[in-house]
Structures are given as C-alpha cells and as structure tokens.
Structure 1
Amino acid sequence: MEKQPLLNKEPPATSPTKADSAPKAPDKTRYGTLLFVNIVTCLWTLAQHLHSPVVTQYLYVRVKEEVYPNGTEPEKHNVTCFQNSSTEGFKLQEKAQQVTNAMQMQFSLSKTGCELVVNLLLGSFSDYVGRRVLFMVPTIGYFCKNMILTSIIFWNLDLKFYYVGEILEGMTGGLSLFKIACYACVSDNTPAKGVRTLGMIAVDVTIAVTDASISSVTGVFIQNTGFFYPSLASALMTVVVMVTIMCILSDNVKRKGASCVNFLTGLKHVVSPFVSEGSKRRKALFWLGITSYSIFTLSGSTGDIGSLWQLNYPLCWSSEMIGYYSMASTMFNQVLSIPLARLLQSCVSDPVIAVWSCVVTIASNVLQAFSYTNWMMYGVAIVGSLSVSVGGIIRSVLSQMTPPDRQGSLMASFSVIGIVSVVLGEPMFSFIYRSTVLVMRGASFLVSAGGHLLSTVIIIVFAVLSSGKNKQEVTSSSTPQIPEEEGVPARRHVQGSE
C-alpha cells in the first residue's frame, strides 16, 4: 500500500513531466460540455435519420420497378401490398424484399473494413490529439455520402454509385467514430461515479428521442415530396453539424505536452486493460463486460428487417404508419429511460440495472416474433419502454475502472466491438430473414432474444464478481500506472486529483 508522502510528492512546477500532463478526472460535472455533446448528437441524428429511411425505401422502390412486370405491381409503393400468398404478385413481393435486404447488407459491408481501422486509429489517438478531430472527420464523410445519394436520386443513377458513399463513410469512421467522440467527452467531463452512467445513457436517449421525433416527419416528407428533398435536407444538416463543432467546441481535453503515439502504441492502449493492467479479477471483469456488450450488440444488429417486416404481410403498414409507430414507441421508452435509471440507481447497482434491461428486451423480442396485429405491436412498445440503455451502462461501468487518459482508447475498443458485431450480425439476420420469411417471419426476433439471454447471463456473472467483498479489490486496481515516457518514472494516477 502506498504511503501518503509518496502521493504528495510532485515535481517542481517549473519542470512539468509528460506523466503530469495526463488529464485528471473532474471533481464535478461540467454541464455545459455535456449540453454541447447532446446538441451535436441531436443534429447528427437528424441528418442520419433523414438519410436512412430514404435509402431503405428508395432501394425498395427501385428494386420493385425491376422485379414487377407491368400490371402486377401494387398501385402505390409501400401503401398496399399483396396478402394472398398464392398469387404471383405476392411471390414477387417476397422476392423484392429479399433483393433489397441483400443490397442493404452489401452496402453495409463495403464500408466496415475501413471503418474498423479508422475507429481504432483515431479513437486511441484522441487522448493525445483531442476530441474535435473525432467530431469533424466522420461528419465530413457523412456529408459526402449524403450528396452521393442525393445525386443518385436526382439523376436516377445506377445504384452501384452508392458504394462510393459507403466507402467514403468507412474511411472517415462513420457514426461509430462520432459516438466515440460523444462518449469520450462524457467521460472527460463527469466524475467516475453515478452521473457518468446517466451521461452515457443521456447520449443514447438523445439519439433515440431525435430519431423518434424525426421518424414520422420523414415518413410524411417522403410520401409528400418523394426521396430527393429529404436526402438533400440530410446533407444540409451535416453542414450545420460541422459549423456547430467548429464554432462551439473548445478542445481542452487532449494530453498537453505529449507527443502523438504511433499505431502500435495506440493499439496497446486499447487492449492493455484486457491483457496486462490490474489484477486478474479486474481483467476478468473487463473481459466479461466487453463480451456481454458484444453479444448484446450482435443480437440487436438486425438491420432493416423490422421495417421490411412491417411493410408487408401481415401488417402491411405504410411508410407513414411505420414513422408514427417508431416515434411513439421510442418516445415512450426514452421519456422513462433516465428517470427509471435514476430510480433504479437508488436501489441497485449499475450491472443489476443492465440485467433488468436485458430481461425486458428479451420479452419485447419474443412478443414481436409472434405479433400479427397492430395491438400486439403496441404491446411490444409498452414492454420495451421499461428498458434502459444496456450499452450505456456497460460503457460507464468499464469507464469507471479506466484512468482519465485512456478514455478515448476504451471507447475505441467499444467501437471496434460494435462494428464487428454489426458486420457479423446484419448478414446473419439477413440470412435468417430471407430463409424464414415464407415459413416463420418472426424467427429473426427469436434468435435476437436468445442472444440477449446469453448476454444477460454474462452480466449476472459480472455483477457477482464486482459486488460486495470483491468491490474494494476491483476499485483499488482500477487506476493503473501511467507508462514511463522519455525517462520519467511511472507514478500511480490518483483518481479525481487536481
């Protein structure tokens, strides 16, 4: 155990060391920065959720134009659909779903390779170069992708041009890199306990609420104006995001006086909590946390099969109806999310809250798998409203076990796991949907529920290991030594010191 004189021994103020230049965890919450994070998150989400429904529904329309012979297509796109399975139109309708789903999967996979490397690189470097880079780079890439889609719609170009937009987004990190910036900023500006979990959840709530708010508007927008103007509006919104970041964000969280790490050092910072830092129990907790996160994310990476399922038999919803449902169900959940999390925090630990949310998610998936009426889908929304962001809780719990100068590296590891989960999950659920759409449409949701069940079991093990008599050991090993730099002896970081 270290003695007090060692902790108080500091180098002279006239000769600061690089170890001392590492950022410290704040003693109190910096609400102004948290507000900024949620503002830019809201603006980015507006752009994204104007773009995503346009892609899905525009692809479906273009595919149907190629699949349906003259005279067999329903009168209005996405408004009526064939319900008699014995008709030729019904079979062509199923084929159009399968082709659209396959194209979406190919577009998604085309960007993920570059996205994986960029997130790992810039995420780990952000502890040295600051957070502004993490905000700006993906925003520029997303603007380019939006403009490419807008051009395809306006000039009716070949859909293969959209691959260019996906690859550009991958090369600039995409949404995953933008989220790293948001979560790292939350970690930089909150104390380790309590508020940090709510801050992580707040980012997820902002994304979900903005998505819900724009969903119905997007549906009406598409139905009344077509696809061009919503796509153009999405591109213009990314410009607003860029201007906001440049004018407001003060980049004061980078490690002053430290030279930028190379790629191998950055990679080491990402993996070190899992292989080399802290006690065996602490490393086991990191592995359990990241494994539960990866399985939960994998199980939720169903892509757009929910929208395709709602567009067709047995629901046959219009794009406007899908928008209204998405808005109502998401708003209902997110309005309760932070108050529910705060209430549960007063009674149980964060890992137990994650277990509760996993169980609720499982129940929601099972109910959706067997839903065939509008009222049953409303039940899915009610059950789902009782969950809290599992990803946000796991990020916060592991963030509390990580020193302040490694927050960007930790969020990069979450981002990499999230990308890999999407790469594996979307093709898997796409294959399951295509294989079962004529037999059991809800099979994909049952598989998702099974994955969430496995994640629940892992989180329970995490909660047991991190509670009671084990808690002190985990906390005492949660502040690994800052590595030696240029001959400066390593010294232990003191959480919350200034």
Structure 2
Amino acid sequence: MKIPWVEPAIFLSAFAMTLTSPLTTQYVYRRIWEETSNYSIAIDSNISQCEKNKSSPIFVLQEEIQKKVSLFNLQMTISGLIPGLVSTFILLSNSDHQGRKLPLVSSSVGTLASSVWLCLLSYFALPYQLLIASAFLSALCGNYTTFFGGCVAYIVDQCKDEKQKTIRIAVLDFLLGVVTGLTGLSSGYFIRELGFEWSFLIISLAVAVNLIYILFFLGNPKKESSSENVPISCCESFKSLFHRTYMLFKNSSGKRQRLLCWLLFTMTTYFFVVIGVSPIFILYELDSPLCWNEVFIGYGSALGSVSFLSSFLGIWLFSYCMDDIHMAFIGIVTTMTGMALTAFARTTLMMLLVRLPFLFTAVPLSVVRSMLSKVVPSTEQGTLFGCIAFLETLGGVAAVSVFNGIYSATVAWYPGFTFLLCAVLLLIPVISLCVVRCTNWNEESYTLLTQEDSRGDAADG
C-alpha cells in the first residue's frame, strides 16, 4: 500500500541540504586556507584561525581567502545555472501528466550522486575545483528547487479547501524549520567529531533512504493518461512545455494575468534577496571581528532555521485574523529589519540577537506560493510550479552570483555592505505587493477568477 504523505521525503531532503551547505562551504574554506597559507587547520581545535588585528599578516591572508571562497562559490553556482533551469522546467511541467514523483526521483538521484562525490573528494583529497563539475552534473537532474516545487504541487493536488492549502504548504516550512534547525545546530559537531568524510557519507545515506521511500513507498496522485503514452520527440516535448506555459497566461482573464505577473514578480524578487544573501552569512561569521568556529556557525544556522518554525506558527495564527497579503507584508518588513541590523553586528551576542527579526522570513514564500496556487486550476498546478521553480532557479543562481561578487568586492572595506543592500532591495517586493493591494485585491477573488476562467475554457471547448 502506497503512502500519500510527501512530508518524510521533505524531512530527509531538508536534512541532507542543510548539512551539505555549511559543510561544503567550510570544507572549501579549509582547503583554500591550506592551499594559500601552506598549513592546515586542525578540525578538533578550539582555537579560531581568525585574526582580528588588521595590522597582522594573517588578517590580510584571511581577507584574501574570503575573496577566493566567495569567487569559488560564484563559479559553482554559475556552473549549475543552465542545466538547472532546463531540468527544473521540464521535470515540473511534465509532472502534470507523468506524475509528481518524476521531479522528486530525478532531483534525489542528482543529490545522491553529488553527495557521494563529495565523500570521495574529501576522502582522497582530490582537487576541490572538481566540485564545479559535480554542481553541473547534479543540476542536470534537478536541484532542491525542483524537489521542493514537486512537493508543493503534490500537496496542492491533495488539498481542496483553500485555507487548508495555505496551512499545508506552511507545514512544509514548519518541517523545514525543525529539521534545518536541529541539523544546523549539530553541523559543527559533525565536522568536529566525525570529520568531513564521515559527515558526507551520512548525507549520502540519508539521500539514499529518501530515494527508496519515494520510489517504493510514496503514492503518485497524478497518473499518466493514455493520450500521453504516445512517444514524442525531444523537440516536440519542448514545444509542448512552452505551449502549456503560454496557455497558462493566455487562457486567463486580464485581471488574473495581472495577478499572476505581480505575484510571480513579488516572490522572485524576495527569493532573489533571501537566497542570494544566505551563503554570505557563513563567510561573514568566519571573518573578523566575529571569527566564529564551526560550532558557533552551527548555532547561527540553527537560530536562522527557527524562522521556518516561527513562520509556520505565524501563518497558522495570522490566518484567522488577516489576509494572505498582510502576512506577506509582515514577513518582508521584518526580514528587511534583520538585514539592516546584521550589517552592524560586530559581536557574537549581537549576531545571535539579529536573528530575531528573521522570525517570519519564510512567511512571504509560503503565502505567495499559496496565493498563486489559488489563481490556477488544478490541471495547471505542475506548469505553475514549473514556472515558479524555473524563476527561483534562475533568480537563485543569479542572486548567489551577484551577492558573492559584491561581497568579494566589498569585504575589505565594509563586510556589512551586502546586508545593507539587501535591506534596500527588499523595498521592491513591498512595492509590488502594494500594487496588488491597490488593485482592490481580496481573498475571494482568487476562487472567482479561477472558476470564471474554467467556465470560459469549457465554453470554448
């Protein structure tokens, strides 16, 4: 008997993703440090390898290493851009007809291959530059955006009530918060107690278990229709995908088209800032004057992950007294405040406290996804989330590239500049939501627009 719950897959995938990111960044940081300074960092050392005295040669060295790590992260991100965009769009769009498990299986295979490669690379001390090829090949199978988009579409297929849909999507963020919080908290101890090789091996085992669950235990709410069983060429497949995306907008009323465009723009710009600055936090914490070690970085990641839990609680409580759009406003404004405060954090206590304004960071992403899903009929959910994942992949890669480049260029004279820039850029999704609100938007308009468009399509047929 198949299990209709995608949450266990999210749990295992979030564990692997949350543990992989800080481990990879710190692994690359240590390798570049050793390559540049010609001496190694002891993993079990309680002494920070960070120098706070600006007149010291070590301080100049660590600034150079910061630039190198940032630029290498940029190269890794760019390497996965094109394959990630293509695979995300194809897998999620085809899931409308071939089943929601398609993007989940494919992206899990890519993640498993990448984690095994990380394990081998660290064990045999292979050149760390090979991570670029690993990122490229992994993106061909679909990235985490592909996986998460498939999970959201899976849930939307099961939810008929609109409020239930918002809460169920928020549950994913709650689950992400619990997993990423605990994993982030323990990531430093993984490195210190097990080393990189065993830590990457544990990640590989978690992804393998997840793949087995998806293949053999998870149910598939979407079944391939008989009309889709006819084999078609790759060219025709691409034409079909773009045609479905085009029809997603063409078969909509003018008001629904404007809602789709503004909401997609809002989510993409917010995602651009939040995802783009995420890797910078670790580099910022490793640098002077904070000089955090792997354990403190784990504490910081855990506190940052609390936002998923608090965002879920916020959505659950706020949904009884306010509309979706007002919840999104709260999330963006509090995140903007957190970015501004981070730019001026110079002590460990201050850096830990600035995590508090980020409590509702995940609210806009969950809420706007739910808002978009309410605009689109159930038969087009895969195409919609394919568009969302495509934009998130493009925006995420562009954002990480841009912010790594900015941080690399500004770290020597003001490391907090990147966070100040993020606070300013978050004004864009705020203005976008204001436009949506000023168009006399209301909660009931979603269902009415979708019903009207569905009746129009039936009449045309």
TM-score by length of 1: 0.85
Alpha-carbon distance, 1:273 to partner: 3.3
Whether 2:13 is the aligned partner of 1:44: answer yes
The number of residues matched between the two structures is: 451
Alpha-carbon distance, 1:242 to partner: 0.9
Q: Structure 1 residues 490, 288: CA separation in 2 closer, same or farther (over 3 Å shift)?
A: closer
Q: Structure 1 residues 329, 178: CA separation in 2 closer, same or farther (over 3 Å shift)?
A: closer
Per-residue CA shift, 1:98-135, capped at 9, x if unaligned? Answer: 10111111112111211101111111110100011111
Whether 2:86 is the aligned partner of 1:117: answer yes
Alpha-carbon distance, 1:490 to partner: 5.6
Whether 2:454 is the aligned partner of 1:491: answer no
CA distance in structure 1 between the partners assigned to 2:354 and 2:40 by the alignment:
37
Secondary structure, in 3 states, of the residue corresponding to 2:65?
Answer: helix
Q: Structure 1 residues 317, 417: CA separation in 2 closer, same or farther (over 3 Å shift)?
A: same
1:165 corresponds in structure 2 to 134
CA distance in structure 1 between the partners assigned to 2:41 and 2:184 by the alignment:
30
Q: Where does the alignment leave 5 or more consecutive residues of structure 1 unmatched?
A: 1-31, 484-488, 494-498
Paired amino acid for 1:92 = L
Paired amino acid for 1:436 = T
Alpha-carbon distance, 1:191 to partner: 1.9
1:25 corresponds in structure 2 to none
Per-residue CA shift, 1:204-260, capped at 9, x if unaligned? Answer: 232232111111222101012221000111111111001111222121323533426
Paired amino acid for 2:257 = K
Alpha-carbon distance, 1:422 to partner: 1.5
Whether 2:307 is the aligned partner of 1:307: answer no
Return the match for 2:415 from 431, 437, 441. 441
Alignment of 1:190-201 (within 5 A): 190-201=159-170
Return the match for 1:235 from 204, 211, 216. 204
2:232 corresponds in structure 1 to none
Which structure is larger by alpha-carbon Rg, 1 or 2?
1
2:114 corresponds in structure 1 to 145
Whether 2:419 is the aligned partner of 1:452: answer no
CA distance in structure 2 between the partners assigned to 1:257 and 1:401 by the alignment:
28
Whether 2:261 is the aligned partner of 1:287: answer yes
CA distance in structure 2 between the partners assigned to 1:466 and 1:237 by the alignment:
47
Whether 2:341 is the aligned partner of 1:367: answer yes
TM-score by length of 2: 0.92
1:9 corresponds in structure 2 to none
1:464 corresponds in structure 2 to 438
2:245 corresponds in structure 1 to 270
2:35 corresponds in structure 1 to 66
Whether 2:362 is the aligned partner of 1:395: answer no
Alpha-carbon distance, 1:75 to partner: 11
Alpha-carbon distance, 1:192 to partner: 4.5
Q: Structure 1 residues 248, 114: CA separation in 2 closer, same or farther (over 3 Å shift)?
A: same
1:352 corresponds in structure 2 to 326
Secondary structure, in 3 states, of the residue corresponding to 1:408?
Answer: helix
Q: Structure 1 residues 89, 117: CA separation in 2 closer, same or farther (over 3 Å shift)?
A: same
1:317 corresponds in structure 2 to 292
CA distance in structure 2 between the partners assigned to 1:425 and 1:187 by the alignment:
28
Whether 2:171 is the aligned partner of 1:202: answer yes
Q: Structure 1 residues 473, 179: CA separation in 2 closer, same or farther (over 3 Å shift)?
A: closer
Q: Structure 1 residues 271, 459: CA separation in 2 closer, same or farther (over 3 Å shift)?
A: farther
CA distance in structure 1 between the partners assigned to 2:227 and 2:366 by the alignment:
30
Q: Structure 1 residues 411, 324: CA separation in 2 closer, same or farther (over 3 Å shift)?
A: same
Paired amino acid for 2:449 = S
Q: Structure 1 residues 356, 322: CA separation in 2 closer, same or farther (over 3 Å shift)?
A: same
CA distance in structure 2 between the partners assigned to 1:244 and 1:292 by the alignment:
34
Deviating more after overlay: 68-77 vs 206-215: 68-77
Does the 8 A contact of 2:19 with 2:187 survive in 1? yes
CA distance in structure 2 between the partners assigned to 1:492 and 1:367 by the alignment:
55
Whether 2:410 is the aligned partner of 1:410: answer no
1:20 corresponds in structure 2 to none
Alpha-carbon distance, 1:459 to partner: 1.1
Does the 8 A contact of 1:192 with 1:400 survive in 2? no
Q: Structure 1 residues 387, 58: CA separation in 2 closer, same or farther (over 3 Å shift)?
A: closer
Taking only aligned residues, the RMSD between alpha carbons, in angstroms, comes to 2.5
Whether 2:349 is the aligned partner of 1:382: answer no
Q: Structure 1 residues 405, 297: CA separation in 2 closer, same or farther (over 3 Å shift)?
A: same
Alpha-carbon distance, 1:46 to partner: 1.2
Secondary structure, in 3 states, of the residue corresponding to 1:200?
Answer: helix
Q: Structure 1 residues 431, 490: CA separation in 2 closer, same or farther (over 3 Å shift)?
A: closer
Secondary structure, in 3 states, of the residue corresponding to 1:292?
Answer: helix
Does the 8 A contact of 1:282 with 1:477 survive in 2? yes
CA distance in structure 1 between the partners assigned to 2:269 and 2:354 by the alignment:
22
Alpha-carbon distance, 1:358 to partner: 0.5
Alpha-carbon distance, 1:337 to partner: 2.3
Return the match for 1:244 from 169, 188, 213. 213
Alpha-carbon distance, 1:372 to partner: 0.9
Give the number of the structure whose residues are more often helix, by fraction: 2
CA distance in structure 2 between the partners assigned to 1:75 and 1:388 by the alignment:
34
Return the match for 2:305 from 318, 327, 330. 330
Question: What is the identity percentage for the equivalent residue pairs of Structure 1 and Structure 2?
Answer: 23
Paired amino acid for 1:196 = K
CA distance in structure 1 between the partners assigned to 2:42 and 2:123 by the alignment:
23
Does the 8 A contact of 2:184 with 2:301 survive in 1? yes
Alpha-carbon distance, 1:363 to partner: 0.6
Per-residue CA shift, 1:280-314, capped at 9, x if unaligned? Answer: 11111111000111111111112521101101211
Paired amino acid for 1:43 = L
Whether 2:256 is the aligned partner of 1:256: answer no
CA distance in structure 1 between the partners assigned to 2:412 and 2:11 by the alignment:
38
Does the 8 A contact of 1:128 with 1:258 survive in 2? no
Per-residue CA shift, 1:352-406, capped at 9, x if unaligned? Answer: 1101111111011111111112222232122222445211111110100111111
Q: Structure 1 residues 150, 440: CA separation in 2 closer, same or farther (over 3 Å shift)?
A: same
